[in-house]
Structure 1
Amino acid sequence: MTDHVPKQSRLSRYVGMSKLEKYEVLQELGQGTFGMVFKARQKSTGKLVALKKLIVHDSKDGFPITAFREITIMKQFRHVNVLQLIDMIHENSEDTKKPGFFYTVTPYISSDLNGLLNNPRVRLTNPQIKCIMKQILHGIDYIHNQHYLHRDIKTANILLDFFGVVKIADFGLARGYHGPAPVDAAAGAGGGLVEYTGLVVTRWYRPPELLLGERKYTTAVDMWGIGCVLGEMYKKKPILEGKSDLDQADMIFRLLGSPTPENFPNADVINRNGVNLHVDYPRTLESEFGAIMTPAAVRLLSGLLTLDPRKRFNAAKALESDFFKMEPVACLPEELPKFEESHEQDIKRYKEEKKRANESVGSGRPPNKSLDHSHYGADYETPRKRRDLAHDNRWRGERRGWGGNRDWNRDWGRDWGRDYSRESGDYREYRRPREFHGGRPWQNQDYRDTRGHWGDGPHANGGQHRYKRNPPDRTSSSLYAQTEKTSLSAVKDYLIDKKKEGGADPSAKR
């Protein structure tokens, strides 16, 4: 006689998942078709997290298919430059016939690249751009070698945490990749073996093969997006802002030149979308970007923005670019400035600030102090107030003498502390204290940086040492509690159960 296994009850499916009560919700960050995102605090550790509330469109499904795919993919990733899934939450619905609400939990990341590039108080230098770019390439190289396509690379999905570590995020459009992984530095990313949907990648970052209608695409679609991100870091705005798919393709040809059998073989064969290939445009990439980028940066940009996806740089090839070898070299992640929090949803506020500042200049009124670049500086040589470190209590470690000539191998070039300015009639803040001031040795109790980000300590010869409160040698992800194994196991069991009920694996949808 065959034993009949009773069907799981609605409640037993979710046993082991975390509850929302473990987190203190602080504020709503955004809302879209995917659901709502909240900033919250993990009560057990005090760490900040991001909660994504998933919309369940059909109560019969119980779990969104797009979320199913995103969660199963994120659970497999373990890389410093890829956003980590740390927990899952289930909350019961008042209606017992409905499955309730699901939340994904990830570390709260202080900024995204889109917000930073639109922030008028942030200007990235060459070493900083190289640092961010290297991390993006390492992250996408890992994703591709795990046989996945991201399919939505853009500045809004490139996060930057408080420690200067880049995190590639938003895997809602990601899927498994059937084709050779780009494991070496050879150009090209392998040929696509199966057809995928063409409705992927935000238009301004969409490669030409997708605009033409190619369905058997490869990891090269992500590399095109990274090229657009590189150009955007220099221009501080998207480099290809098409108003429609046809206009987007036309803008690409205006930048890279008309498509030919040499630079874009078989373009006419894959052109299912009616893109006009019979145009006569000269190539303008070098002239347009040569004024704001080094020659090495232009060469890397050209390798990433190549019409033929088979000749487009993969991540390994891009990392070998002389762009990263030539001076000034990339700074370390921990050397990146502690930028103020800047997210995509802040862009509207930045535009309003800029508009008010322009109106003030036109009317003769003093400009808006919120746009004062002295807080952060045009580049790393300019003094920056380290006000953004105050909320973090983990800074500790490295001792620095007051009279040091350099910091992080860069000349800070100014004095820290307060000094009265006869010209302005006010106090000024300086970068590094002078060894002598007013004919007497520098004394901590008389002159200090006023921001409280440097510790105190006696010097053997009198005077004071200062102690730089350095961050621990770890990233934002490692500061959180260990992965909630019981919670994620419960998700896995639930998804397996749904798969058995539904038959086909919903994550196999392309």
Structure 2
Amino acid sequence: SEIVHEDVKMSSDGESDPASSSDDVQSPVRVRLRNKKISTEDINKRLSLPADIRLPDDYLEKFNLIGPALFEQPISRRLRRVSLSEIGFGKLETYIKLDKLGEGTYATVYKGRSKLTENLVALKEIRLEHEEGAPCTAIREVSLLKDLKHANIVTLHDIIHTQKSLTLVFEYLDKDLKQYLDDCGNTIHVHNVKLFLFQLLRGLSYCHRRKVLHRDLKPQNLLINERGELKLADFGLARAKSIPTKTYSNEVVTLWYRPPDILLGSTDYSTHIDMWGVGCIFYEMATGRPLFPGSTVEEELHFIFKLLGTPTEQSWPGISSNEEFVTCNYPQYRAERLSNHTPRLSSEGVELLSKFLQFEGKKRISADESMNHCYFSNLGNRVRSLPDSKFKHNL
């Protein structure tokens, strides 16, 4: 079936989109409104709300009492925020908690339902410790996601701040890639492997163009709905990359998907930190098993070198002066053929995989570049020119 994903233009904290505050004062909608009752559609349009929203009954009545005054002037951010709050955004009672989906170090995720749209949502409840305030990872996630609007990135619908918790309201997706793999007996159809990889690259390319690195790519952070749309989630570790000279902590990416330069202590990240993880996920989708399932940094590097060959000064300039590398004294492995490990991948697929799995970050293929690789040629050209808010494909 052909898939169309419409992106809702709703800013979760009630900030107005530029478009909604710069309407021509004499717009026909406003002139018309002087002589007729205000409808739900008028309000939805004015406040950039999702089309399926159910406004409280008294809200419409109140609007018609005030008359079309609101529609006569450009809407201010404050007025929009007040309006959204009256409708029920930013309030815990607007959402019904259903099942608990999972628990992390600082957050619990619930499946829920929005009383405004009757749609399912995911409620990520972040506990606020009094002495600490909001965890920086939560603040980072909120500020980044507010600006990322893309069909292959999970949508943040609402933010609820109470004294005890910060709740992020996301669109609900049925499962993550890890569950998807489990459910299909670790054998994803090769065409779906290609579709999922392309969508992952599309979402990443959008982030990377905005200088946002995800830094924690793994199957558990890739969500999939029943229409086969894949979306990047969990931006708690993501960073907006500002100045290239800035160094970050090297304790970020989950071990199995962490690139060798980061494992060996590099703190000079760029967008290529995510591309190694893409390679590991691509392999896992194609074979049904993780590529480098190490339990310690040393073991992780051991697995990497065993498959790709122990690096030398020729294959990785500067490696012989890396203290951690020298201390571990790895055996001299010769590189194995990737194709021997990935029988279900075409030669183009193997070639693309090897472009992700480069020791040096700067040698890895970018998300943007990889979308034009010949491995994807049978998806057609239209898929590359889709607007950010849509993803059409055949599953």
Give the TM-score of the pair, scaled to structure 1: 0.56
Equivalent positions of 1:201-350 (< 5 A) are 201-272=253-324, 276=328, 278-325=330-377, 334-336=393-395
2:202 aligned partner: 138
1:40 to partner: Cα distance? 0.3
Residues 88-143 of structure 1: per-residue CA shift (max 9 Å, x gap): 1234xxxxxxx222210000011211111122457322221111111110110110
CA distance in 2 between counterparts of 1:305 and 1:275 reads 23
CA distance in 2 between counterparts of 1:148 and 1:70 reads 11
Aligned AA (2:123): L
Structure 1 residues 271, 151: CA separation in 2 closer, same or farther (over 3 Å shift)? farther
2:159 aligned partner: 88
Equivalent positions of 1:357-372 (< 5 A) are none
Aligned AA (1:90): H
Decide which moves more: 35-44 or 16-25: 16-25
- The question of whether the paired residues in 2 share the 8 Å contact of 1:164 and 1:333 is answered with no
Residues 425-469 of structure 1: per-residue CA shift (max 9 Å, x gap): xxxxxxxxxxxxxxxxxxxxxxxxxxxxxxxxxxxxxxxxxxxxx
CA distance in 2 between counterparts of 1:106 and 1:169 reads 10
2:100 alignment partner, SS class? strand
The counterpart of 1:63, out of the listed 134, 147, 150, is: 134
- The question of whether the paired residues in 1 share the 8 Å contact of 2:152 and 2:230 is answered with yes
Structure 1 residues 126, 88: CA separation in 2 closer, same or farther (over 3 Å shift)? same
Q: Does 1:175 align with 2:242?
A: no
CA distance in 2 between counterparts of 1:273 and 1:142 reads 34
Structure 1 residues 276, 292: CA separation in 2 closer, same or farther (over 3 Å shift)? farther
CA distance in 2 between counterparts of 1:304 and 1:270 reads 22
1:24 alignment partner, SS class? strand
CA distance in 1 between counterparts of 2:379 and 2:166 reads 48
CA distance in 1 between counterparts of 2:366 and 2:122 reads 31
1:201 to partner: Cα distance? 0.4
- The question of whether the paired residues in 1 share the 8 Å contact of 2:319 and 2:325 is answered with no
1:106 alignment partner, SS class? strand
Q: Does 1:73 align with 2:144?
A: yes
2:290 alignment partner, SS class? coil
Unpaired runs of at least 5, structure 2: 1-84, 384-390
1:198 alignment partner, SS class? coil
1:289 to partner: Cα distance? 2.6
Runs of 4+ aligned structure 1 residues displaced above 4 Å come to 270-275, 326-334
2:171 aligned partner: 107
Residues 224-263 of structure 1: per-residue CA shift (max 9 Å, x gap): 0000000000111211101211000010001111101222
1:242 alignment partner, SS class? coil
- The question of whether the paired residues in 2 share the 8 Å contact of 1:196 and 1:216 is answered with yes
Aligned AA (1:86): H
Q: Does 1:118 align with 2:182?
A: yes
2:77 aligned partner: none
- The question of whether the paired residues in 2 share the 8 Å contact of 1:213 and 1:271 is answered with no
CA distance in 2 between counterparts of 1:335 and 1:161 reads 14
- The question of whether the paired residues in 2 share the 8 Å contact of 1:127 and 1:328 is answered with no
1:294 to partner: Cα distance? 1.1
Equivalent positions of 1:382-421 (< 5 A) are none
CA distance in 2 between counterparts of 1:71 and 1:197 reads 21
Q: Does 1:23 align with 2:87?
A: no
1:149 to partner: Cα distance? 1.0
CA distance in 1 between counterparts of 2:380 and 2:344 reads 15
2:122 alignment partner, SS class? strand
Aligned AA (2:345): M
2:125 aligned partner: 53
1:207 to partner: Cα distance? 0.2
- The question of whether the paired residues in 1 share the 8 Å contact of 2:284 and 2:290 is answered with yes
1:382 aligned partner: none
Structure 1 residues 121, 289: CA separation in 2 closer, same or farther (over 3 Å shift)? closer
1:37 aligned partner: 109
CA distance in 1 between counterparts of 2:370 and 2:339 reads 21
- The question of whether the paired residues in 1 share the 8 Å contact of 2:187 and 2:286 is answered with no
Residues 329-354 of structure 1: per-residue CA shift (max 9 Å, x gap): 99985532xxxxxxxxxxxxxxxxxx
CA distance in 2 between counterparts of 1:120 and 1:85 reads 29
2:345 alignment partner, SS class? coil
Structure 1 residues 328, 70: CA separation in 2 closer, same or farther (over 3 Å shift)? closer
- The question of whether the paired residues in 1 share the 8 Å contact of 2:177 and 2:223 is answered with yes
1:291 to partner: Cα distance? 2.2
- The question of whether the paired residues in 1 share the 8 Å contact of 2:127 and 2:164 is answered with no
1:288 to partner: Cα distance? 3.1
Give the TM-score of the pair, scaled to structure 2: 0.72
Structure 1 residues 272, 87: CA separation in 2 closer, same or farther (over 3 Å shift)? same
1:313 alignment partner, SS class? coil
1:341 aligned partner: none
1:134 alignment partner, SS class? helix
CA distance in 2 between counterparts of 1:320 and 1:269 reads 36
CA distance in 2 between counterparts of 1:36 and 1:327 reads 38
1:35 to partner: Cα distance? 1.3
2:61 aligned partner: none
CA distance in 2 between counterparts of 1:116 and 1:275 reads 40
1:217 alignment partner, SS class? coil
Name the count of aligned residue pairs: 303
Kindly report the root-mean-square deviation, in angstroms, between the aligned alpha carbons of the 2 structures.
2.4
Equivalent positions of 1:367-382 (< 5 A) are none
CA distance in 2 between counterparts of 1:155 and 1:275 reads 32
1:50 to partner: Cα distance? 0.2
2:52 aligned partner: none
Structure 1 residues 274, 26: CA separation in 2 closer, same or farther (over 3 Å shift)? farther
CA distance in 1 between counterparts of 2:325 and 2:96 reads 49
- The question of whether the paired residues in 2 share the 8 Å contact of 1:113 and 1:159 is answered with yes
Q: Does 1:162 align with 2:226?
A: yes
Structure 1 residues 56, 273: CA separation in 2 closer, same or farther (over 3 Å shift)? farther
